[in-house]
A = this chain, B = another copy of it.
Amino acid sequence: MAKNPLHYIMSPGSIAIVGASANPMKMGTIQYLNLAGSGFQGDILLVHPTEDVIFGRKAYPSVKELPYAPELAFLVVPTMLIPSMMEDFGRLGTRYAVVITAGFKEIGEKGERLEHEIVDIARRYGMRFLGPNCMGIVNSQLPLNATVLPLQGYNGKLGLASQSGTYVTQTLPYLHKHGICLSKAISVGNEANIDITDCLEYLGEDKDTKVIALYIESIRRAGRFLELAREISRKKPIVAQYVGGTEAGARAGSSHTGAMAGPDYIYDGLFEQAGVIRVNTIEELYTIGWGLASQPPIKGNRIAILTNSGGPGTAIANTCNKHGLTVPEFPTDLQERIRAFIPGHAIPRNPVDLTFHTDDEAITQKIPEVLFSSDEIDGIIIHGIMDTGFSEVIYPMFKDIFKCSKDEFRKMGMIDLSGLVKMPWQYNKPLMISSFFDHEDHCIRAFHENGIPTFDSPEKTALAMAALYKHYLIRTRACDTPENLPSVPEKARQIIDRIETGAVDEYRAKQILMAYGIPTTNEALVHTYEEALKGAHAIGYPVALKACSPDILHKTEQGLVYLDIKDDEGLKNAYESIKQKERDTPLLVCEMLKGDRELMAGMSYFPGFPPCIMFGLGGIFTEVLKDRVIRLAPLSHTDATSMMMSVSSSPLLGSYRGMKPVDRDAFSSILINLGYLSLHFPQIKEIDLNPIIVVGGYPKVADALFIMEG
């Protein structure tokens, strides 16, 4: 298999920049200066039509005149020049490019044509490229920084791919302030050639990247994304923000990178299936990503909270509980061991509240040691460690008393964190810090230097810890990829081959389902009353009688369905009544199921996505309450059971009022086979199995509708 092109783009031996000039305020110039200043060890070649020397470096008048084919071309020139530049580099032998320039697909039809043009050129020369309309790349290990802002703090672990350039460039100082270090960062722009799914694959393979963070406005190859993410997320956490789920988000995204977004529930399904942890804000993408990247993985959900204040402790406890973590009351012996280090009136139940009066050693060393070494605890959150930030604020009150300079005063209160910052690795448990102070506090700097994540609110700290536990659940969930696509059932092929376009009648639809092992009602297709009578007797009363034609979509509404027919007389009445309305349509005599619940399953398509398998409780739950979930075909067994647990109304699948729970294996098998069917026959554009009636816990399809392409 071809190596992912990003391995070359992110680690080139030589780069040609077209677009840097003597004007220091131009984007190309800034990117050049940044790259040159970043410590990049490879060759940098400049191209400029009129300037010979740019900031001390020779510039070549054209691409043709370059001394050799650079490994990477970096293009920041006016939009109209991009095609000929690409052509020139292609001819020269350069195979990788980053196209910064905007003005393509995102501005409408004219730009789209231009984008097609450069895609064609790249194909002709076997080139791969990032962009257009992107902001550059960062490889902190090389180092290489071809964005508009300098990178501070190396030793990165968080790999970022973003459909917004700002999030790999303008936020670099923000990341530094939060102690967050990137391994690699990629701005993908319009994704004309390389897309965010390629980035996912690359970051998955990149050994320096411990966690992958994705800013997403649209995924163009959802099937491949799923396949990759499913594998990667078992080892490396993947965190993603998706912003295209609303009308305004989708429209803004389309102006931004020309992408086509989809509703939230489609992406929720994809992310759940792929093991991707979804976050709601860019701050969470960075800080939760960093929490995951910087700390040892968590091995359970029992959190200890150590605080110098009750409010933050309570807020942390509450947020932990809301997001799947427990804050267990400590057993007596653990409480006793902690009691030695706390003020008399404090109670070490968990949270351990030291209250405002406390010695630094208790909160930074002695109690953490007890907590880290306990078997009852999986992760530790501490709020309230602070020194110089606090000293600085109170200095005005004390300067006349202590008669010392602010610097001396700051030093007086400085806390030694050398023991605490080692504990996570010593005990192999995560530590997260909550503090209202920032870099002005020496403790915060010390935590950042040692890779301990800090959060400027108690709730955010708890949320980040909850994300570690989410990844624990993903890491440890049943490891079943979908099975290989089975071969097409011959019976199904025979039926489908004979169908042309439009809807498929219920009888044939159910025959196809049966070929896939999906249980359906026992039934007979009949053309005369005698056949109907024979069918009813074979099935046994009560039965249902329905008109059966691909042209009739809403049978019930048209009075073409009679349910619960109890005897021959009822059958005759129903038969005649239907025949009066539909003289030439055959009829279906069906077994009448006495179930205790109705479910539904279906399939539909969404641009860029493989068949989406849908599940919901039937009737009002899907129709009126819109309570349904999707997963992408093919489904693993875990995907199918997780679907059933993901609808809001999932408690209704359980056992209550004396009903048996819905058999998970049986229903999963319906969903999985629906996926196979959809993949086997892409000409089927829509499937609706509704209702699926549950009898004694076992589901049977009572009505089915297929819509074929065309």
Mark A residues whose CB is within 8 Å of B: 24, 27, 30, 33-34, 37, 55, 79, 102-103, 106-108, 111, 135, 148-150, 162-167, 170-174, 177, 215, 217, 241, 243-249, 251-253, 255-257, 280-283, 305, 309-315, 317-322, 326-327, 329, 344-345, 347, 349, 351, 353, 355-357, 384, 389, 393-394, 396-398, 401-402, 436-438, 456-460, 620, 623-625, 648-649, 651-652, 654, 656
Residues from chain B with Cβ under 8 Å of A656 in the complex: 620, 623-624
A sample of 29 cross-chain residue pairs with beta-carbon separation below 8 angstroms, ordered by A number, consists of A30-B394, A37-B396, A103-B345, A150-B397, A164-B311, A165-B310, A170-B436, A172-B393, A174-B436, A244-B314, A246-B318, A246-B322, A248-B320, A248-B327, A249-B315, A252-B327, A252-B351, A253-B314, A255-B310, A255-B351, A256-B311, A256-B314, A257-B310, A282-B459, A283-B457, A620-B656, A624-B654, A625-B649, A648-B648
CB-based contact B456/A252 at 8 Å: no
Residues from chain B with Cβ under 8 Å of A167 in the complex: 311
A398 and B22 CA atoms in complex are apart in Å by 12
A149 and B391 CA atoms in complex are apart in Å by 10
CB-based contact A148/B321 at 8 Å: no
Task: Pick the residue among B106, B108, B344, B436 that contacts A171 (CB under 8 A).
Answer: B436
Residues from chain B with Cβ under 8 Å of A162 in the complex: 311
Residues from chain B with Cβ under 8 Å of A251 in the complex: 317, 327, 329, 349
Task: Pick the residue among B248, B347, B652 that contacts A321 (CB under 8 A).
Answer: B248
A655 to chain B minimum Cβ distance, whole angstroms, is: 10
Given contacts A166-B309, A245-B322, A249-B317, 8 further A-B contacts (CB under 8 A): A24-B398, A37-B396, A102-B355, A177-B438, A246-B321, A248-B326, A252-B327, A256-B353
CB-based contact A401/B24 at 8 Å: yes
Q: Give the interface centre of A106, A248, A459 by most chain B CB atoms within 10 Å.
A: A248
A191 and B316 CA atoms in complex are apart in Å by 22
A409 and B257 CA atoms in complex are apart in Å by 34
Residues from chain B with Cβ under 8 Å of A309 in the complex: 164-166, 170
Residues from chain B with Cβ under 8 Å of A102 in the complex: 345, 355
A459 and B620 CA atoms in complex are apart in Å by 34
Residues from chain B with Cβ under 8 Å of A79 in the complex: 345
With A164-B309, A457-B282 as known contacts, state yes or no: A398 contacts B255, CB within 8 Å: no
Residues from chain B with Cβ under 8 Å of A389 in the complex: 173
Residues from chain B with Cβ under 8 Å of A164 in the complex: 309-312, 314
CB-based contact B349/A255 at 8 Å: yes
Q: Give the interface centre of A170, A344, A401 by most chain B CB atoms within 10 Å.
A: A170
With A397-B34, A398-B24, A457-B283 as known contacts, state yes or no: A245 contacts B318, CB within 8 Å: yes
CB-based contact B281/A456 at 8 Å: no
Residues from chain B with Cβ under 8 Å of A27 in the complex: 356-357
CB nearest neighbor in B for A177? B438
A232 and B562 CA atoms in complex are apart in Å by 60
With A173-B389, A281-B459, A389-B173 as known contacts, state yes or no: A107 contacts B55, CB within 8 Å: no
A55 and B403 CA atoms in complex are apart in Å by 13
Residues from chain B with Cβ under 8 Å of A149 in the complex: 393-394
CB-based contact A163/B248 at 8 Å: no
CB nearest neighbor in B for A654? B624
A384 and B174 CA atoms in complex are apart in Å by 13
A652 and B617 CA atoms in complex are apart in Å by 15
A135 and B353 CA atoms in complex are apart in Å by 15
A315 and B422 CA atoms in complex are apart in Å by 37
Residues from chain B with Cβ under 8 Å of A394 in the complex: 30, 148-150
Q: Give the interface centre of A172, A458, A460, A654 by most chain B CB atoms within 10 Å.
A: A458
Residues from chain B with Cβ under 8 Å of A315 in the complex: 241, 243, 249, 281-282
A378 and B173 CA atoms in complex are apart in Å by 33
A493 and B458 CA atoms in complex are apart in Å by 52
A397 and B149 CA atoms in complex are apart in Å by 9
